[in-house]
Amino acid sequence: MATMESTEFARTYLSPHGPMRMLGGAPALDLANTLHWRDGAEIDCIPSYQDLLIFCIPALLLSENEERALERHAANQPRVARDVHLEVLKLRAALKSWLNVWAKNLARGVTPKPVALRSFHEAIGQAGGSAGLGDILNLQSASANERLYLPLRRSAAAAAMLVLFPSGNDIRQCEADHCGGFFINDSRSKPRRWCSMDGCGNRAKAARYRLAHQK
C-alpha cells in the first residue's frame, strides 16, 4: 500500500537541474512532470537523448542494461538519437495538454470531451510507430536502427496504458502555484493535493501560516 511516507522516498532521477523524484505514480505522469515550473521558470529535466535515457531508469521505462546498451548505440548514431529525443518531447507536449484538460475537467466534476483524447491518441499512435508489442518489450527484438526508438516506444506504451487503464480515473494536478505537477491520487481518506508533501505541500502550508499571521 502506497502511503504518503513512501512517496517521499520515491525513486529519484538526477537531472541536469537537480534531483527529480518519481512522484506521479505512473511512468507517463513522471514523463509529463519532466517539464515543470520552478522558481518562476519552466525547466526541462530531459534536455538531451542521454538525459532521457537516465530518466528512463527510475521512471521504469528502461532497465539499467537497456540504458547502457542504448547509450552506446546513441554515441554511434547521434542524429537518430536527436530525432528520437525530439519525438519524445512532442509526445510529452501532447500528453501534457491532454492531462491539463483531464485534470481541469475532473476538478470541475465533468467528463473530458473526446476531442482532446482523439488528438492524444494520434500522438500516441505516431510515437508508437510501426513497432509491435514484441519490439516494445524487448530491446533485442528490434532492428539495430529501431533500438534507439525504445524510449519513445515505451513512453507511447506508458501513455496508452494511462488512457486505457486509468488508475481510478483520479489524475490530479498539484495545487501549488507554478508547479503544475501531475500525480495519481492514491490517498483514500483525504485527497492528495500536492505532488510532494515535503516540497509543494510544505510551501503551501508555510504560505498559509504567513498569511494567517499577517492579520
Give the residues lining the site for Zn ion (CB under 5 A): 174, 176, 179, 181, 195, 200
Report the 3 state secondary structure along 93-149. HHHHHHHHHHHHHHHHCCCCCHHHHHHHHHHHHHHHCCCCHHHHHCHHHCCHHHHCC
Closer residue to Zn ion, CB minimum distance, 150 or 174: 174
* Least distance in angstroms from the C-beta of 201 to Zn ion: 8
Q: How far apart are CA 123 and CA 117, in angstroms?
A: 10
Closer residue to Zn ion, CB minimum distance, 25 or 181: 181
* Least distance in angstroms from the C-beta of 209 to Zn ion: 18
What interhelical angle do 150-164 and 49-56 show, nearest 10? 50
Closer residue to Zn ion, CB minimum distance, 77 or 100: 100
Closer residue to Zn ion, CB minimum distance, 37 or 82: 37
Give the dihedral sign, CA 206/208/212/215: positive
* Least distance in angstroms from the C-beta of 160 to Zn ion: 26
Closer residue to Zn ion, CB minimum distance, 121 or 203: 203
3-state SS of the chain: helix, strand, coil percent to 5?
Answer: 55, 10, 35
Q: How far apart are CA 197 and CA 118, in angstroms?
A: 34
Closer residue to Zn ion, CB minimum distance, 62 or 179: 179
* Least distance in angstroms from the C-beta of 172 to Zn ion: 10
* Least distance in angstroms from the C-beta of 195 to Zn ion: 3
Amino acid at position 30, single letter: D
* Least distance in angstroms from the C-beta of 199 to Zn ion: 6
Is 201 within 8 Å of 194 (Cβ atoms)? Answer: yes
> Residue 195 belongs to what H/E stretch?
none
